[in-house]
Amino acid sequence: MALKILAFGANGAQMAAGTQALVDAGHDVRVFTRSEAGAERWRAAGVEAIIGDMADQEALIEASDKRDALFLHVPLITDPDDDRNAYGMNALRAARTTGVKKIVWNTGGPIMDPSSTTDPGAVLLRALQEGGFSFLGLTPVTYMENLLGPWTTAGLAQTKLPYPTPATFKMQWGAAADFGRVADKALKGALPNEVLTLGGPEALDGDDLAQIMGDVLGQHLAFETMPAAEFEAHLAKMGSPHVASMIAGMYGGIQANPDQFQPGFVTDAGAIEDRFNIKLTSFSQWVSDHSTAFKS
């Protein structure tokens, strides 16, 4: 059953692959983006793209018109002057105005306090629960796509796999495409009106990552814990220094108190696989799919 879906964040690392997965599944996807270059890339691939801002209610209403569902993402970490709550709420208002009832939402991270009035995830969750929507929230553990950054490619040249976590810290690394694959399955049935955690099928520590990636790429790799400050410097070159500081701060906390953070980075992958009749992407498969990026 093909649906008409409006996708947000489709030019970002967290949503691009998932949006493509919905396209590959045969859905009629319309992308909403602020980026003219990003819109052109989607159009060149045969996907409709509308250029607009999530602060613009009229643009959101136009984009939501005649859509069956939203594939929604609102960044949890933005610059201080961004009204994070407004973006998600504007998207829901537009959906309500145009009669869109189904929403699959990538929360971007855990909702720590559901009663919060400042956490955009908590605000959006309450709006979904109280607004008569049929929804599924998917909370990422962490993304395999994080390893496509320049810190990884630079390290591979020195037979290292750098990342800012301790070597023994386990994470349920998930492929971004799986968010779209789960959304496809979920939208074909009744959405559960709850938030589920989505990671990968394996809980892997740094040494596991290095071993698997090395085996797939045909080279010996050793995992190396990257200092949080060095990771921040890389991120700041790619975007907002404020966002870079916030993300690096989280990794600094993991390095300082790994036992405290460990429970939040593992999950029961089988619960998602069984519920939606899907096999999540293994790390070895993901590395194989992206091998050209690591060998360039």
Per-range mean pLDDT, top range of 109-123, 232-246, 263-277: 263-277
pLDDT of residue 10: 95
How many of the other CB atoms lie within 10 Å of CB of 231?
Answer: 21
Give the tens place of pLDDT for each residue, 97-110: 999 999 999 999 99
- Tell me which DSSP letter residue 282 carries: P
Domains, in order of start, for the chain:
4-140 (3.40.50.720), 142-174+201-267+281-296 (3.90.25.10)
Q: Which pLDDT band, with edges at 50, 70 and 90, does 13 fall under?
A: confident
> Which helix H or strand E contains 223, and what residues bound it?
strand 222-225
Side by side, which strands form the sheet with 4-8? 48-51, 28-33, 4-8, 69-73, 102-106, 134-140, 194-198
* Each residue's pLDDT tens digit, 61-87: 999 999 999 999 987 766 666 677 788
List the structure tokens of 272.
């998602």
- Mean pLDDT for 151-156 is 92
**How far from each other are the two terminal CA atoms of the chain, in whole angstroms?**
39
**pLDDT surpassing 90 at residue 219:** yes
